[in-house]
Amino acid sequence: GAVVSQHPSWVICKSGTSVKIECRSLDFQATTMFWYRQFPKQSLMLMATSNEGSKATYEQGVEKDKFLINHASLTLSTLTVTSAHPEDSSFYICSAHYYYEQYFGPGTRLTVT
């Protein structure tokens, strides 16, 4: 149980376009989801905390208008990278809170050309 999926697993987009990444809790409801960014050979950096039905809480230094987070239901949170640029290329990981644990999705590799 407590499985989190992400879609897509890998996406390539052109500079200036927007891309949406989905995070789903498959067998549980998650009122809180988290979005992380991970650069190669580095640790996870929390970008924002997403609460169902309310605005996301962004970490300091994360551009809210660039990284749009929507947690419209108890099983789905989305991260939209708007007007993507090559520097946004990274590995994005979501996690969902369930019974005092966080369960991680498999991650999404974003490449902006």
Interface with another protein by CB under 8 A: which residues?
31-32, 34, 38, 41-44, 46, 49, 51, 91, 93, 95, 97, 100-102, 104, 106-107
Report, in Å, the least distance between residue 46 CB and another protein: 5
User: Distance between CA atoms of 110 and 48, rounded to whole angstroms?
Assistant: 17
User: Distance between CA atoms of 59 and 80, rounded to whole angstroms?
Assistant: 16
- 57/82 with CB nearer another protein: 57
- 19/56 with CB nearer another protein: 56
Q: Are 110 and 88 in contact (CB under 8 A)?
A: yes
Q: Are 62 and 88 in contact (CB under 8 A)?
A: no
- 51/70 with CB nearer another protein: 51
Report, in Å, the least distance between residue 11 CB and another protein: 15
User: Distance between CA atoms of 93 and 82, rounded to whole angstroms?
Assistant: 17
Report, in Å, the least distance between residue 60 CB and another protein: 11
